[in-house]
A and B are shown apart, each in its own frame.
Chain A
Amino acid sequence: MTDRSGTTGDLSGFQPRLVGFLCNWCSYTGADLAGTARMKYPANMRIIRVMCSGRVEPVLVLKAFAEGADGVLVSGCHPGDCHYMEGNYKALRRRFLVEALLEQFGIDRRRFRFQWISAAEGDRLAEIVEEMVAEIRLLGPLGRARERLFQADHLSLNPAAGGPSPA
C-alpha cells in the first residue's frame, strides 16, 4: 500500500506507517467514538488494542519499528482515570525508558508518542494521528535504524525464533 520510492529525495508520496497501542477503556473507546462520529483521519494509523497502556512493554514498540513502522503511538487513560488504577502511570514511567532505547538505536524520539486520550476524546485521537502523520512525513521513512533493530538478537523481536516467551 505504501509508496516507498526511496528514503531520500521527494517525500510527497511518502505514506508513513503508524502503529498505535491503545488501551481498551479510554483510548480505544475514544478511537471508536471518532469513527462513530464519522471524524475522518489518515488511514496510516493501525490500532492494536491492549487492555491497559501499562501492558505495552518496550519490546513491543521496538518490534513495531523493526516490522516497518515509521512511528508508534502509546495511549492510555488520563491520570487518575485508569481502569486499573495506576497502569497508565506505569506506562508513563516506561515511556522514558522507551525514548532512551530509541535514541540508542538512532531513532528520532519524535517518532514515538505517548498520549492520554479519554473515551470521550475521539477528536483528540484524530488530531494526534494527523499531527503524527504530518510530523513523520517530514522525518521521512525510518531507514537503516530498522536493520540495527533486527541485528539486536538479544531483543528477541521474533519470539517464534526462540525468544523468552514460552513455547
Chain B
Amino acid sequence: MAHSEPVRVGVYICHCGSNIAEKVEVQEVRRYAEEMEKVVAARDYQYMCSEPGQEIIRKDICEGLVNRVVVASCSPRMHEPTFRKTLFDAGLNGYLLEMANIREQCSWCTEENRWATEKAKALVGAAVKKAVLLEPLEERSVPVNPDTLVVGGGVAGIEAALKVAEAGKKVYLVEREPSIGGHMARLDKTFPTLDCSACILTPKMVALAQNEKVELLTLSEVEEVSGYIGNFKVRVRQRTRYVDPVACTACGDCRDVCPVELPDTFNHGLNNKKAVYQFFPQAIPNVFQVEKAGDPAPCRHACPAGVNVPGYLALIKERKFAEALDLVREALPLPAICGRVCFHPCEEQCHRAQVDKPLAIKALKRFLTDYEAKTSPEKKPKAPEETNGGRVAVVGAGPAGLSAAYFLAKCGHKVTVFEKEPEPGGILRYGIPEYRLPLEILKHEINQVRAVGVEIRTCVEIGRDITLDDLHDQGYDAVLLATGALSEVMLEVQGADLDGILPALSFLHDVRAGQRPKLGKRVAVIGGGNAAVDAARTSLRLGAREVKIFYRRSRLEMPASPEEIAAAEAEGIQVETLANPVRFLGEKGRVVGLELVRMRLLEEVDKSGRRIPAPVQGSNFVVEADTVIIAIGQRPTLDLAVGKWEGELQFDKGGRVRVNKSCQTGLKGVFAAGDLVSGPASVVEAVGAAQWASAAIDAYIRGEPLPVVEDRPERTVPFPEEREVLPLQRQEMPELEAEKRRRSFAEVELGLDEEQAVLEAGRCLHCAGCAECLQCVTACQAKAIDHAMKDEVRELEVGSIIVATGFDLFDPSSAPQWGYGRYPGVVTALEFERMVNASGPTHGKILCKDGKEPKAVAILHCIGSRDKNFQEYCSRICCMTALKYAHLVREKTGAEVYNFYIDIRSFGKQYEEFYQRVQEEGVHFIRGKGAEVVETGDGLVVRAEDTLLGIFREVSVDLVILNAAMVPARGAQKVAQVFGLQTGNDGFFMETHLKLEPLKTSSDGIFLAGVCQGPKDIPDAVSQGAGAAAEALRNISAGKVVVSPVSASINKELCSGCRVCIEACPYRAVEYDEEEEVCTVNEVLCKGCGTCTASCPSGACRVACFDTRQLMAQIEGVLAG
C-alpha cells in the first residue's frame, strides 16, 4: 500500500463483551469517530480481537476502503501485536495501526458512564489524529545467538538449563553459591510423596554437570548485561575458590588441618564448618573452596607491620606453636620484643571488643616466644642457601635497621649493620627499661637476626668513624639510613640549666648502660609519653621516694600506653595532668623545685587532632623536687658527608629525612626508614617501614621497578552481624605484684601459660574468614590450593537469558512476637529442614537446644505471609511443608504436634490426600494463627485464638517451627536492575502477563523461572524451568527474531551536528559523521526510547511511532471537544 494515497481511517470499537460496553456508550463513541475528518468507516463489534472481529477490519482493508486503522479496545500492551498481524494479513503495513485504550484506562477505572463515554471519545479522537500521521515501518529481524544463559542454579534453573542442553544447545549456568542445588538441596523430604529431596535432585545435578553443552559458573554473579534479544553480552564475575577445581579431588585433607571454624551457611548457621570446606556432600562441582570475606580482619589491617594475626591465633588454638611463630616472623623479626612493648593497635580494632574484650594479641605473641625459648631455645631461623651478591649497608641497629637487615638477608643480600653504640638494639637496648624488656630477650632476638647472615658492627658512627662516602667506596650497592630519632627536645624555660635536670633518654640510656645516675628523693618527670613513664618507673626502682609525672594536657591525650600509666600508678607514681612548668627553682645551682601553671583545654584542636592546652591565668603553684626529668619529645638528627652519592639529602622542618613512596632519599641508592623518616614512633611501625624499605632496596638492586608504599586499604571486614557471638572471658596477663616491683628491675609481665594461650586464641571470631595460615596448602597433596588466586571476569555472548534467582525466607527475628532469635526453641522452616536431614547438624535427629527430643512441637503457619504487617500474599508452600513437618515429627519422635493455621491450602495433585493422611496420624490442627510465643519456666507457650471453638488457647511445647514466608532473594533488586526487569510491590519479578505470559518479561529475550517470579512449590518451579527453556529454544530454533522497527532517525538536511543526541542516547546508537558533519542513528543499537528526539534542538531527530508531530496531534485529540 503506497502511503502517498489520501488517508482514509477506519475506526473499530470493541465492546469487550460488557467490559467496555457497560460503561461506555459505544454507539455514541462510534458516531463521534464517524464525524471526524479523514474517518471513512467507524464500526463496533462484540469482541474485536475474535476472528470475526478481525475479519471486519481485514475486509475494509482488502476492499480498499481504509488505509489507516484505529482499534479502540483494551491496552495496546495486550492486543497491539494481534491487530498488527491483522493489518499485515490484509496487506496493509501493521504500523499504520493506532490503539485507543478504552478498557484498562477508561471503562474499568471510571465510576460514571457519562464520564467514561466522554473519555473514550477523547481517546478515540486522539488515536484518529495520530493515525492520520502514521507511516509504514519495515520490521527487522535479527539472528539469535544459540547460546543461553541461566542465572540461578536452584531446581528451576537446573531444569531450564538441562532442557536447553538436552536440546543440543550451549548453556551457561551462573550460580552465586559454591554449588548448584539451591534451596532444594537443603530440604529433607518433599511433599506430598515424601521423596528424599537430595535423592531426586542430585541425579539432575549430575546430569547437568556431565552434559558437555553445559558450562557451570559457580561462585559467580552477573554484573552487567548489554545488547538485545538474540544478542546479549553478559559480564560475569567469578569469585575465586582459591582451589583449582580440576586438581581438587575433594579428599578433605585441607579441611582436616584447617584451624578456622565459621558458621555453616548451608546449614543456616546451625553448626560450624571449616574455612576450607565442601558446600555439602553432594555438591556440584564436587570441589572444596576457601571462604574469605575479601577485606582483611581489623587486627591485621591495623598492624603497621601487617602481621597475620588471625593466622597465628588459629594455629595457637590448634597448639601448633612453632608454625604460629614462623608465621609471625614472616612479617615481624622481633616477636619477643613486640610481644612486650608493642602498643597493639590490633587490639584496639578487634571486633570481639563489641561483645566483651578484645583478644590479648600482644600477650599471645609473647607466649609463642616464651614457648620457643622453653622448648627449643636453640632454634634459629634459616639463612638463605644462596646469596645473590647484593651488598647493603644499614646504618643504625634499632628496630627499623635490624628488621630491614633481616628481611634483606632473607632475600639473599649480604647485609652489614653499623651501630654507634657498643651494643646493637638502639632504643630497644638503651631506651626501654629492663623491667619491660629484659636484655636477655633483646640479645636473643638480635642473635636471630644475625643467624640469617646479618653482620653487625658496633661502635661505628657514620659521620664520625666512617662516612657515607666510605660506604660508597667499599662497594655497597645500597644504604639504608635508620638512625632513629634520639635527639632530645629540651624545655626552654628559666632555670633549665640547673643541676639535677636530666633529659629522659640520656637518663634511661645511662641506666641501661649499667650506670646508676644520682637521683634525689623527689623526682618530677615532665611529659606524657612512654619515655616519661619509663623514666618515672625507673627512678622509683633506683630509690626515689616520691615520683610525680606532670603533663600539660589531660589524661585522654597522654601518648603513653594506658597499661603503662596504670602500672606506674599501681607502683605509687602520681600523675598530674593539665599542669605545665613555667620555671625551675634552684639553690646553689641545683634544682630544688619547679613552678607550674594549671592548664585548660581549648575547643580547637591542633594538627594531631588533640585539643590545644592553654594556661589558666594566676593558677601558678610550686612543687618541690630535687631531680627533674624532661621527656617532652625527640627528633631525628643526621649529619653526613655525602659527596660521592649522586643527588642530595633533604630534611623537613622536624629534621626528618625526606623520602619518596619507595623509601628513597634524594641520594641515588640511599634509602631511609623508621623514626628518621617518620619522627618518633613505635617499634612495630619501624618494622612496617623496614618491610617497605627492604622490598624497595631488593628491587633496586635487582634492577626491577620499585614497589610503592601504598595507602592502607580503607576497608576492613565489618563485624559479623549474622553470627551469634557469646562472651568469653579474656585471659589477662599475670604481673609481678606492685610492691615487689617498686625496687626491682625484674620483668613485670609474667606471660600467659599454654592453657591460657589456647583458650585466649579460641576467642578469635575469625571475622575475615580464612586466616591464611596456609596449613591447607601444606596438607594438599594435589597442590590444588593457591591463596593468591584472583576473581575472574568473563564476557559471555548469549541469545537468551533465563532468570531463576529464587527466594529467601522471611526473617522472623524482625517480628519479636514469635520469639525467633530470642528463644533457642524457636526455629525457622529451613532450619528445621536441616535439623531433620541426615547430613545436617544433628544428623537427622529432632532435638531441642538442650539435646533432648521434644515432647510437643508447634508448627506456626503464615509467618510473615497473609499478614498486612509483612507480606500480604500467600506463600503457597507453607501449609504443605507444615504437614510434612508434622508427619516427620510424629514419625521420628512421637511428639504431639500442634498446627496453628488460618486455612489449610492443599491445592496440588495428591496434596489433599496427604492432608488427610497427616490428620489420621494424630496431628492436632488449631484454626487460628499463632499470635505469640512466650517462654515460661517449663518451656515455650504458643498463644492463639482457636476460631473454631471460639476460645483463647495456650499450648505448651518444647519446639516451635515458624513457617516463614518466601520472599525475594537477597539482591533481587540488583538483579532487576542488571537485567532490566520490573518488580511488583512484593519484590518478585514481574511477568509480561500474570496469566498468559508468566515466563516473559518486559525485556525481550529474558525469561523467568521459579520462585523469583512469585512463591511456588517444586512441581511448579520445575514446570516453569522447562517452560522458560521452551521460550529460549523457540527463539533459538527460529534462528531469528523480529525486533521492533520503532527506532530513531535523523534528517540530514535539518541536523546541525550539535551532537546533543549523542549525549542523550544510553545505547551509543548515535554517531557523528565527520564528513557530512551530521549525526546518524545505528538502527541495530537503537531501542526507540526517543530521548534523542526530545533533546534535538533543530527537530532533525525523529522517532518512529512517537514523533513530535504525532504526539502533538494526539494532544490536540485528547483535549478536543
**Other contacts beyond A38-B108, A52-B1091: 4, CB < 8 A:** A17-B1119, A49-B101, A90-B1091, A90-B1095
Q: How far is the CA of A121 from the CA of B984 in the complex (A)?
A: 8
- Known A-B contacts A119-B982, A166-B1051, A166-B1054; A159 and B1108 likewise in contact (beta carbons under 8 Å): yes
B817 interface residue, CB < 8 Å from A?
no
In the bound complex, how far is the Cα of B103 from the Cα of A120, in angstroms? Answer: 18
CB contacts (< 8 Å) of A165 on chain B: these are 1099, 1102, 1107-1109
Of A4-12, A80-88, A99-107, A108-116, which binds chain B? Answer: A80-88
CA distance A77 to B1053 in the complex (A): 34
Find out whether the CB atom of A159 lies under 8 angstroms from the CB atom of B1112. yes
7 nearest CB pairs, A to B: A164-B1099, A35-B104, A55-B1090, A54-B1091, A46-B1118, A35-B108, A43-B115
> What are 22 contact pairs spanning A and B, CB under 8 A?
A1-B1121, A19-B1118, A26-B982, A29-B1002, A38-B109, A43-B110, A43-B115, A43-B116, A46-B1118, A48-B126, A51-B1088, A60-B1108, A64-B1115, A67-B1116, A69-B1119, A84-B1067, A85-B980, A86-B1066, A121-B985, A159-B1109, A164-B1054, A166-B1100
- In chain B between 73 and 118, which residues have their CB closer than 8 angstroms to a CB of chain A? 75-77, 101, 103-112, 115-116, 118
Contact of A57 (CB < 8 Å), options: B121, B982, B1095: B1095
Please give the distance in Å from A62's CB to the nearest CB on chain B.
Answer: 10
* Residues A48 and B982 in contact in the complex (CB < 8 Å), given A55-B1093, A165-B1099: no
Chain B residues 1074 to 1113 lying within 8 A of chain A, measured CB to CB, are 1087-1091, 1093-1095, 1098-1100, 1102-1103, 1106-1109, 1111-1112
Q: Is the CB of B105 within 8 A of A35?
A: yes
Give 1 or 0 for each of A110-143: 1 = CB within 8 Å of chain B CB: 0000000011110000100000000000000000
Cβ contact within 8 Å between A90 and B1064: yes
| Residue pair A87, B1111 in contact (C-beta under 8 Å) | no
Residue of B77, B108, B109, B1098 with most partner-chain A CB within 10 A: B109
Say whether B985 contacts A55, CB under 8 Å: no
B990/A40 in contact, CB under 8 A:
no
For the complex, is B983 an interface residue (Cβ under 8 Å from A)?
A: yes
Q: Give the residues in chain A near B111, CB-CB below 8 Å.
A: 40
Do A49 and B76 touch across chains, with their CB atoms under 8 A apart? Answer: yes
The answer to whether B1115 and A120 have CB atoms under 8 Å apart is no
For the complex, give the distance between the alpha carbons of A54 and B1119 in Å: 23
B57 sits at the interface (CB 8 A): no
A41 within 8 A of B: yes
A33 CA to B1109 CA, complexed, in Å = 29
B977 at the interface (CB under 8 A from A): yes
Q: Is B119 an interface residue (CB 8 A)?
A: yes
B123 within 8 A of A: yes
* B1114→A163 contact, CB < 8 A: no
Q: Which residue of the partner chain, among B104, B115, B980, B1115, contacts A63 with CB atoms under 8 Å?
A: B1115
Taking a contact as CB atoms under 8 Å apart, the answer to whether A36 and B104 are in contact is: yes
Cβ of B1111: which chain A residues have Cβ within 8 Å of it? 48, 50, 60
Q: Counting CB contacts under 8 A, is A47 at the interface?
A: yes
Q: Which residues 142-159 in A have Cβ within 8 Å of B in the complex?
A: 157-159
CB pair B1094 A57 closer than 8 Å? yes
Chain B residues positioned under 8 Å from A157 (CB to CB): 1112
Closest chain A CB from B229 CB (angstroms): 13
Please classify the interface of chain A as helix (H, G, I), strand (E, B), loop, or mixed, using the class held by over half of its residues: loop
B1003 at the interface (CB under 8 A from A): yes
What CA separation (Å) do A60 and B126 show in the bound complex? 14
- List A contacts of B976 (CB < 8 A): 81
Docked-complex contact A166 and B1099, CB < 8 angstroms:
yes
**Nearest A residue (CB) for B1002:** A25
Q: Contact at A51–B983, with CB atoms within 8 Å? A: no
CB distance from B1113 to the nearest CB of A (A): 8
Cβ of B162 < 8 Å from any Cβ of A?
A: no
Cβ-defined contact, A35 with B109, below 8 A: yes
| Distance between A27 CB and nearest chain B CB, rounded to angstroms | 11
| Count of interface residues, chain B, beta-carbon cutoff 8 Å | 64
Shortest distance from the beta carbon of A111 to any chain B beta carbon, whole Å: 14
Asked if B1094 and A90 make an inter-chain contact with CB atoms under 8 angstroms apart, the answer reads yes
Mask: chain B, 105-146; 1 = CB below 8 Å from A; 0 = not: 111111110011011011100100000000000000000000
In the complex, are the beta carbons of A48 and B1002 less than 8 A apart?
no
Bound-complex Cα distance A85 to B1046 (A) = 17
Name the one of B119, B984, B1098, B1107 contacting A43, with C-beta atoms under 8 angstroms. B119
Closest CB of chain A to B1067's CB: distance in Å? 8
Given the contacts A50-B1111, A166-B1102, A85 and B1088 also touching, CB distance less than 8 Å: no
Q: Which of A25, A29, A33, A57 has the most CB of B within 10 A?
A: A57
CB closest residue in chain B, given A29: B77
Residues from chain B with Cβ under 8 Å of A164 in the complex: 1054, 1098-1099
Distance (Å) between the CB of B977 and the closest chain A CB? 5
Residues of A contacting B1102 with CB < 8 Å? Answer: 165-166
Instruction: Fill in one digit per residue for B363-407: 1 if any A CB lies within 8 Å of its CB, else 0.
Output: 000000000000000000000000000000000000000000000
Contacts of B77 in A (CB 8 A): 24, 28-29, 32
Contacts of A28 in B (CB 8 A): 77
State how many angstroms separate the Cβ of B49 from the closest Cβ of chain A.
Answer: 16
Per-residue A-contact encoding for B614-650, CB less than 8 Å = 1, 0 else: 0000000000000000000000000000000000000
| CB-defined contacts of B76 to chain A, threshold 8 Å | 49
Does A73 belong to the interface (CB within 8 Å)? no
Contacts of A25 in B (CB 8 A): 982, 1002
How far does the alpha carbon of A39 sit from the alpha carbon of B109 in the complex, in Å? 5
* CB of A94 closer than 8 Å to a CB of B: yes
Bound state CA distance, A60 and B1098, in angstroms? 15
Q: Are A52 and B1089 in contact (CB under 8 A)?
A: yes
- With A43-B119, A55-B1090, A120-B982 known to touch, is A32 a contact of B75 (CB < 8 Å)? yes
Looking at the complex, which one of A47, A59, A68, A81 makes contact with B105 (CB distance below 8 Å)?
Answer: A47
Residues of chain A with a CB closer than 8 A to B116's CB? 43
Check if B1109 sits within 8 Å of A120, measured CB to CB.
Answer: no
Distance between B301 CB and nearest chain A CB, rounded to angstroms = 32
Whether a CB of chain B sits under 8 angstroms from the CB of A92 is: no
Residues in B whose Cβ lies below 8 Å from that of A87: 1066, 1089, 1091
Contacts of A52 in B (CB 8 A): 1089-1091
Other-chain contact of B1094, A68, A94, A159 (Cβ < 8 Å): A94
Give B20 Cβ to nearest chain A Cβ, in Å: 11
Q: Which residue of A lies closest to B1099 (CB)?
A: A164
A40, B1095: Cβ atoms closer than 8 Å: no
